[in-house]
Chain A
Amino acid sequence: MATEALHENETLASLKSEAENLKGKLEEERAKLHDVELHQVAERVEALGQFVMKTRRTLKGHGNKVLCMDWCKDKRRIVSSSQDGKVIVWDSFTTNKEHAVTMPCTWVMACAYAPSGCAIACGGLDNKCSVYPLTFDKNENMAAKKKSVAMHTNYLSACSFTNSDMQGCDKKAMVWDMRSGQCVQAFETHESDINSVRYYPSGDAFASGSDDATCRLYDLRADREVAIYSKESIIFGASSVDFSLSGRLLFAGYNDYTINVWDVLKGSRVSILFGHENRVSTLRVSPDGTAFCSGSWDHTLRVWA
Chain B
Amino acid sequence: MYSGASTRALQRLVEQLKLEAGVERIKVSQAAAELQQYCMQKACKDALLVGVTDRSNPFREPRSCALL
Contacts from A to B (Cβ < 8 Å)? 4-5, 8, 11-12, 15-16, 18-19, 22-23, 25-26, 29-30, 33-38, 41-42, 45, 48, 52-53, 56-57, 76, 92-94, 182-186, 200-202, 204-205, 219, 221-224, 226, 244-249, 264-265, 285, 288-292, 303, 305
Contact = CB atoms under 8 A, between A and B. Distances in A.
Given A48-B49, A247-B42, A264-B39, 10 more contacts: A19-B13, A22-B14, A25-B21, A42-B36, A45-B40, A201-B38, A204-B31, A246-B46, A265-B36, A290-B47
B46 A219 contact: no
B65 interface: no
A57 B51 CA distance: 17
B45 A184 contact: no
A59 to B, nearest CB: 12
Contact of B59 (A57, A185, A201, A219): A57
**Interface SS, B side:** helix
Interface in B1-35: 2, 4, 6-7, 10-11, 13-14, 16-21, 23, 25-35
B33 A289 contact: no
Interface of B: 2, 4, 6-7, 10-11, 13-14, 16-21, 23, 25-36, 38-43, 45-49, 51-52, 57-60, 63
Which residue, B33, B46, B60, B63, has most C-beta atoms of chain A within 10 A? B46
A16 B31 CA distance: 33
Contacts of A200: 35, 38
A204 B30 CA distance: 12
A22 B17 contact: yes
Nearest to A222: B31
A245 B28 contact: no
Contacts of B26: 33, 221-222
Contact of B48 (A19, A92, A219, A244): A244
B19 A33 contact: no
Contacts of B27: 33, 35-36, 222
